[in-house]
Structure 1
């Protein structure tokens, strides 16, 4: 699906993925961003890039001021409050409300997570791998809420005849931050970094590749909903990316501590996304170097 001249709704525009993606899409499209926008500076930054911001609280959504006539919906909204009613409302129930409101859209992308998979010791997850509470020790509500969200998206695709793709994202990052950025801050503060004994390996994916993947992913939207792993083929451990960032930054090397309660590896089988878009724009070393240099101590 081409992404020029479209009207695109983005939920989660203030999160880890949403800001950079919304700005990139706004270059050639009308982008309508839905969030609470409690941080006025974040809203102003998006609006400076021609992103239209509408205040909507997905815990109890009111779409009365939101146009129904849109082409594409990107549901990136997520919350990790640890409160079950709140997290299920945003990650699952709000998906149904969105799909109902935008039932006439050309395509609906529901952003899920590799956290839906049952930990397996670091073996690759295919899209058919068993589900489980992958993040139960660190974020007890997250995995279950994301699994519930996928179920709602599958129902909505068939109920509203809405072409849908469920994309399971794995460790996004970019110039503005991401999970590795938190590790960088911990190293600068001299804090130990806990990793799972299974090797703590993940597929990093840069903001630029996330944006570049969108047309191909939306082209897979169907009824029933399609499901794909959304990740870069490059597999990197926390220890590897921390050692690399420390070298670039000049801070002390990471203090790596093994802990059973740390988030297990999320190694994704990327066969399908590589078939759709074989080339990657940003390798993990170049991407992390840019992130470190863009966020000096």
Structure 2
């Protein structure tokens, strides 16, 4: 385990390190890249299928590596790396086979290529948990597994955790599996769940809700996710360690969006839809707080920041 002293707003251990980052063209990967690249040598492995994406990554100071870690040769990955941060995932696999390749096989292949790294961080999802009947249930890392929501995504992400656990022991590679809840706070054109529905509220005045009952989540701002990278890498171990990535408090979706409506000065219309069937999941933050302390951004502050970033044309009101 690394010797680590957390520093406010700076990296301590993660300076002058050789780091491989996957998912660099995505929301979370992009935020992590922007934080790591100024003080480290960072390679970003991605397909770079979107026009201009490679140039965007280069502007952050990351060295682009074009490739598919699930199917292509991995010979272009530098053999001697200090750390690997594996964010990439196939969130909408078109088949079970594609999902298994991208979310399970690929992670193990990557670990094999990077077996000499000091630590491997694998981003999973809280969708792997078996859904509890109580929407306010607090999910510890030891909760039952087998999430039914998300279809092939949740199933293959759970398979990916199995592959990563096994590879960590076979390769003796210190590993940490980070189960992410709902991330938000970005300003990109490919918004996350909360960002997308904040846009919907701004544009329509509607708050979308499940057909019945509450939706309870543990949202985490992308800035807080970035702050978790260093302490989580420091906590990597064999066997692999597992930690939830979620906020410090359970948040009711309706309360969150009514707060957002207050900020933008709208009286919202509550709209319940059967297809708005996202599962409640508040992941227990105890283990995460033991590693990294409390999140710096509360959900209320995070909502305000997100609205200001995504909708600078709106003068936000003071909250009550």
TM-score range, shorter-chain basis?
Answer: over 0.9
Query: Residues 237-266 of structure 1, C-alpha deviation per residue, up to 9 Å, x if partnerless?
Result: 221222222232345515331638602111
User: Quick one: structure 1 residues 82 and 194, their matched pair in 2 at CA, closer, same or farther if it must change by over 3 Å?
Assistant: farther
Match of 2:236 among 217, 221, 225: 221
User: Quick one: structure 1 residues 164 and 196, their matched pair in 2 at CA, closer, same or farther if it must change by over 3 Å?
Assistant: farther
* SS of equivalent residue, structure 2 residue 124: strand
Structure 1 partner of 2:66: 55
> What TM-score, normalized to structure 1?
0.93
CA distance in 1, matches of 2:166, 2:181: 24
* SS of equivalent residue, structure 2 residue 97: helix
User: Quick one: structure 1 residues 186 and 110, their matched pair in 2 at CA, closer, same or farther if it must change by over 3 Å?
Assistant: same
Structure 1 partner of 2:108: 96
Structure 2 partner of 1:109: 121
Structure 2 partner of 1:237: 252
* SS of equivalent residue, structure 2 residue 283: coil
Structure 2 partner of 1:246: 261
After TM superposition, give the deviation of residue 93 of structure 1 in Å.
0.7
Query: Residues 68-103 of structure 1, C-alpha deviation per residue, up to 9 Å, x if partnerless?
Result: 211100111111224222222111110011000000
CA distance in 1, matches of 2:51, 2:87: 20
Unaligned stretches of 5+ residues in structure 2: 3-12, 314-320
Structure 1 partner of 2:7: none
Match of 2:306 among 268, 274, 291: 291
User: Quick one: structure 1 residues 14 and 114, their matched pair in 2 at CA, closer, same or farther if it must change by over 3 Å?
Assistant: same
User: Quick one: structure 1 residues 258 and 40, their matched pair in 2 at CA, closer, same or farther if it must change by over 3 Å?
Assistant: closer
After TM superposition, give the deviation of residue 16 of structure 1 in Å.
2.6
CA distance in 2, matches of 1:170, 1:114: 5
- 1:148-227 correspondence to structure 2 within 5 Å: 148-176=159-187, 177-190=191-204, 193-195=208-210, 197-227=212-242
After TM superposition, give the deviation of residue 200 of structure 1 in Å.
0.9
Matched-pair contact (CA < 8 Å) for 2:183–2:222? yes
Whichever of the two has the greater Rg, that structure is 2
Which region of structure 1 is more displaced relative to structure 2, 114-123 or 212-221? 212-221
CA distance in 2, matches of 1:261, 1:193: 7
Structure 2 partner of 1:264: 279
User: Quick one: structure 1 residues 146 and 198, their matched pair in 2 at CA, closer, same or farther if it must change by over 3 Å?
Assistant: farther
User: Quick one: structure 1 residues 251 and 65, their matched pair in 2 at CA, closer, same or farther if it must change by over 3 Å?
Assistant: farther
Does structure 1 residue 9 correspond to structure 2 residue 1? no
> What TM-score, normalized to structure 2?
0.86
Structure 2 partner of 1:19: 30
Matched-pair contact (CA < 8 Å) for 1:10–1:33? yes
Say how many residue pairs are matched: 294
Query: Residues 125-172 of structure 1, C-alpha deviation per residue, up to 9 Å, x if partnerless?
Result: 11111112241xxx3111101100100000110111100011111111
CA distance in 1, matches of 2:142, 2:209: 29
CA distance in 2, matches of 1:43, 1:201: 37
CA distance in 2, matches of 1:291, 1:164: 32
Matched-pair contact (CA < 8 Å) for 2:87–2:122? yes
Match of 1:132 among 146, 160, 176: 146
CA distance in 2, matches of 1:196, 1:37: 38
* SS of equivalent residue, structure 1 residue 79: coil
Unaligned stretches of 5+ residues in structure 1: none
After TM superposition, give the deviation of residue 185 of structure 1 in Å.
2.5
* SS of equivalent residue, structure 1 residue 40: coil
CA distance in 1, matches of 2:54, 2:304: 27
